[in-house]
A and B are shown apart, each in its own frame.
Chain A
Amino acid sequence: MTRVYVSSVIPAPAATVWRRVRDFNGLPEWTPFVAESRIEQGLPSDKVGCIRNFTLTDGGKIREQLLALSDYDMSCTYSILESPMGVENYIAKLSITPVTDGNVTFAQWQADFDCPPEREQALIDQIGRGVFQAAFDALRQSFGGR
């Protein structure tokens, strides 16, 4: 099992950040790498079990299923059903935590998955830097951060 963990501080209150990221169908609104997204079978995007089907800006297609969503903990967990990345048993969790001293937000994104050993480092880079960190960078900038 390979783990990728990325975390960042977002210069906005946690509730505000959570509103932005909790929409399972909202990746095109806040990440730089998703061109379009839809929820399959017309389900609401916060229904646990729903599947988002999205297209990356490079043309790749990914299907992911929402496994858990908590407005209390401000976290969501999902798995990959289909992707061009070649990962198996991929489960990721995005969580938002308030930083009380400063009224900013601590954002964490973690994924666990299996992959062939020779591809592990490339996938850690691709997912950690190209996906999670890129999304956090965009999120930070959208709230006026550097």
Chain B
Amino acid sequence: MARVRESAIVDAPIDEVWRWVRDFNSHRDWHPAIADSEIENGLPSDTVGAVRAFTLTDGGFLREQLLSLDDEAHELSYCLIESPLPLHNYVATIRLMPVTDSGATFWQWESEFSPPPDRARELMELVGHGIYRAGMRNLEKYLRAGPGEGGVLRVARASADTTRMPRVEERPDMPRAAPAATPVAGTLRACAVVMDRHGGPEVLSLRDVDVSPPGTGEVRIRQSHVGVNFIDIYSRTGYFDLITPPGIPGMEAAGTVESVGPGVAHLATGDRVAYACGPTGSYTSIRTMNADLVVKIPDWLDAAHAAAGLLKGVAAGFLLHDVHPVRRDEWVVVHAAAGGVGTLLTQWASALGARVIATVSDSEKARLAEANGAREVVIGRGQEFIERVRQLTGSGADVVYDAIGRDSFEASIAALAIRGHLVSFGQASGDIGAREIGPMASKSLTLSRPNYGHYIADRAMMTMQAERLFEAIEQGFLKIPSPQIARIEDVVRVHRELESGRTSGAIVLEV
């Protein structure tokens, strides 16, 4: 067994060195022996198990696999899978330590392998000097010169498509903050959508931000897909007081756990997860988050669908089970049945055996509502609707799920049976305003105004809601419609379109 150990003092802060070293796909930028590098299978380049394929400057080809990555200890290890040289059983470790009295970094790079005896000396020299020493010196030079053009870390984006990575620079209209001088230990650089003030879509801009390591009860997530919801518009304009600028909007995302803070037992690094809750801040490639509200997603659910469907699916779940537990053969009215939550309510209530009367605004959406399982579809919410409900039910609907608000409130009341239940959970047509409650006594009606946050307030509730949703999807009760996927750079356009009602179906931002 041959053992090679090289070390150097690199004149740069440890966090700066580590940012590059930990990126398993970054060698082509700073290592003189590596001409090109690619991570196979589109994995993020800091995923343990990721395989990189190197093309060497001399034309050779080799493949290496990341075996461990430890941001706390600034240590990683990897092995050779395929190599033009007989470096059998090659396992290498890189470890960084800070030089506290100068701000520099101690870098140790070592490996063990089994060379043919007659080539041991030559190979040890090649690995130690040609690879390790040359690499350490070159990264120092590279950092000193400033990564400059193309020097955007790919790893922070955790995206499959590395060729698309240096996106921020490609868009001069997107202001980009200068990198922080010395990141705090353990921070990661993320690409985030930041708003400096409340306002129109134009207040959103892409920036690099530093994401601190997870504290007690927290996890840090590398996000691949971010769900876009109408509430993001309300928080951007300031209609809902959810963001004090400068801040990052968004309530929903899916990705992979990057690291886990103390006291978190239900999640581990590498878990595929999603969340759909406050506080705002999901429009980013990396985020630190209260672990209680983060749930694991099943193997069969991809991240794009999880980011598109978790918030709406959880909402549909508690509306149908907790706010008003829907029973077999009940008459259930769902307004806006082709919309995000409406689609899921219609599917799920039908699967529970309820008889769904769906309302929509046009014939195109009527076909969607029918496909979702509605017993009856009505276009519009006027007198015709009220009469049709009476005709079908005899005595009126048992429950009305109403996210239209101002324009549908009276019709919803009128469509209900004695002891019926109006579940008012949105106001797409505008604020409902002050209403008389006196007339509700004429039919002994119940009115609910559920708040999403109160149904996912802690880990037990969140887990229960998420499991119920995943089970319903797995059993075929529900199908999360495939979302439109937009790039995070296009967030301004996406907000503009969502606000103007030009979109249909869920939208997710690919990070």
Contact = CB atoms under 8 A, between A and B. Distances in A.
Interface of A: 5-9, 97-102, 104, 106, 108, 133, 136-137
21 contacts: A5-B98, A7-B97, A7-B99, A7-B100, A8-B102, A9-B9, A9-B99, A97-B108, A99-B8, A99-B9, A99-B106, A100-B128, A100-B133, A101-B6, A101-B7, A101-B9, A102-B8, A102-B9, A106-B9, A106-B97, A106-B99
Interface in B114-156: 128, 133, 136-137
B63 interface: no
Closest 7 interchain pairs by CB?
Answer: A101-B8, A106-B106, A8-B101, A99-B7, A100-B6, A7-B100, A100-B7
A8 B103 CA distance: 9
A100 B5 contact: yes
Contacts of A98: 7
B7 A106 contact: yes
A136 B133 contact: no
A69 to B, nearest CB: 21
A8 B100 contact: yes
B6 to A, nearest CB: 5
Given A8-B101, A106-B106, 6 more contacts: A7-B97, A8-B99, A106-B9, A106-B97, A133-B101, A136-B101
A9 B11 CA distance: 12
Contacts of A102: 8-9
Given A9-B9, A106-B7, A106-B106, A101 B133 contact: yes
Contacts of A6: 100-101
A70 to B, nearest CB: 16
B132 to A, nearest CB: 9
A101 B100 contact: no
B104 interface: yes
Nearest to A137: B101
A108 B96 CA distance: 13
B92 to A, nearest CB: 15
A83 B102 CA distance: 30
B8 A5 contact: no
Contacts of A104: 9
A97 B5 CA distance: 11
A102 B104 CA distance: 15
B83 to A, nearest CB: 23
B8 A100 contact: yes
A137 B100 CA distance: 12
Contacts of B106: 7, 9, 97, 99, 106
Nearest to B104: A9
Nearest to A136: B101
B11 to A, nearest CB: 11
Most buried by B among A9, A104, A106: A106
Contacts of A133: 101
A100 B109 CA distance: 10
Contact of A7 (B5, B8, B101, B136): B101
B292 to A, nearest CB: 26
B137 A5 contact: no
Contacts of A99: 7-9, 106
Contacts of B5: 100
A75 to B, nearest CB: 13
A92 to B, nearest CB: 15
Interface string B59-97: 000000000000000000000000000000000000001
A119 to B, nearest CB: 21
A142 to B, nearest CB: 16
Contacts of A101: 6-9, 133, 136-137
Contacts of B137: 101
A101 B106 CA distance: 11
Nearest to A129: B101
Contacts of A100: 5-8, 128, 133
A96 to B, nearest CB: 12
A6 B106 CA distance: 13
Nearest to A14: B7
A100 B108 CA distance: 9
A67 to B, nearest CB: 22
A137 B99 CA distance: 13
Nearest to B5: A100
Contact of A9 (B6, B102, B128): B102
Contacts of B98: 5, 7
Contacts of B8: 99-102
A134 B100 CA distance: 13
Contacts of B104: 9
A133 B104 CA distance: 15
A108 B97 contact: yes
A45 B106 CA distance: 30
A120 to B, nearest CB: 18
A99 B108 CA distance: 8
Nearest to A108: B97
Nearest to A101: B8
Nearest to A8: B101
Contacts of B7: 97-101, 106
B330 to A, nearest CB: 60
A9 B6 CA distance: 16
Nearest to B108: A97
Contacts of A106: 7, 9, 97, 99, 106
A5 B474 CA distance: 52
Nearest to B8: A101
Contacts of A9: 9, 99, 102, 104, 106
A104 B7 CA distance: 10
A137 B101 CA distance: 9
